[in-house]
Amino acid sequence: MDDALVVRLSVWCEGHLLIWLPELPNPVDIWRARLQRQHLSASIKILEAVQYLIALQHSSRMINHKELLMTSLARLVESKMSQLILNSQKDLHAAQAMELLTVFPIATSFLT
């Protein structure tokens, strides 16, 4: 994703996700850590993907390649779901990703 889209989706997350779940890390902070080549755990990468996927699902259709981005992120989250479930008891970020998916279910009709 390009920088402008990351910022746009992060702003949406701040206004809609972080206001209800303030303990969540801001996805733009995760993105900056990635740019600085800091080590990110698998669960925080999945949490970032979940946040962007929820933001994309609720954003306008004016985003270029929205369906492609949603499909890619949804497939990533789907492939890591068992890891999230298994780690959610002992990993804060995995638990947060599961909490987000519970509160903001992902429409999967676009995956077929």
pLDDT value, residue 109: 60
Question: Which domain range does residue 42 map to?
Answer: 3-111
| Residue 83 predicted with pLDDT over 60 | yes
Q: How far apart are CA 60 and CA 5, in angstroms?
A: 12
Q: What digits encode the pLDDT tens for the residues 19-67?
A: 888 899 988 899 899 889 999 998 999 999 999 989 888 876 666 677 7
Give the total number of structural domains in the chain.
Answer: 1
Q: Does pTM top 0.85 for this prediction?
A: no
Residue 112's Cβ-count burial label (10 Å; 0-12, 13-18, 19+) is exposed
